[in-house]
Amino acid sequence: MRILILDDEPLRVAALTAAARRACPAAHVTSTAGDPGAATDDARPGLLVIGPARADPGGADLVRALRARCRDLAVLVVSGRDTADAAVEAMKAGAGDYVVL
């Protein structure tokens, strides 16, 4: 499985990468702080993990845009916003799950 992590914070990317590799040792994990659309097109991931730097605020807009590009993309939003409204907004936009750090 290919996993793409979108986040701007190197330590958080390292932690998310380690967690992904523990959960799926055969996974090919890449990360980027660059253009999410281009990164998704290039990596063609099966799972997209959107970190807090990209999820807070406006994560739902990003999820919506990326799901429009790739309908079968599984999306996990990792956020620092512990509110039901933020989770519901991300899920309505197409995220498969919402995790609070």
Which pTM value belongs to this model? 0.83
**Domain-located, residue 11:** yes
Q: What is the CATH number of the domain that holds 76?
A: 3.40.50.2300
**Domain-located, residue 33:** yes
From first to last of the 101 residues of the chain, give the pLDDT tens digit: 889 888 888 888 899 999 999 998 888 888 877 788 888 888 888 898 988 877 766 678 888 888 888 888 899 988 887 888 888 888 999 999 999 88
Structural domain of residue 49, as residue ranges?
2-94
At 22 the pLDDT is 94
Q: What single DSSP character describes residue 80?
A: S
**Domain-located, residue 100:** no
At 76 the pLDDT is 92
At 60 the pLDDT is 81
For the chain, the domain total comes to: 1
Residue with tokens 């914070």: 9
**Domain-located, residue 101:** no
At 97 the pLDDT is 93
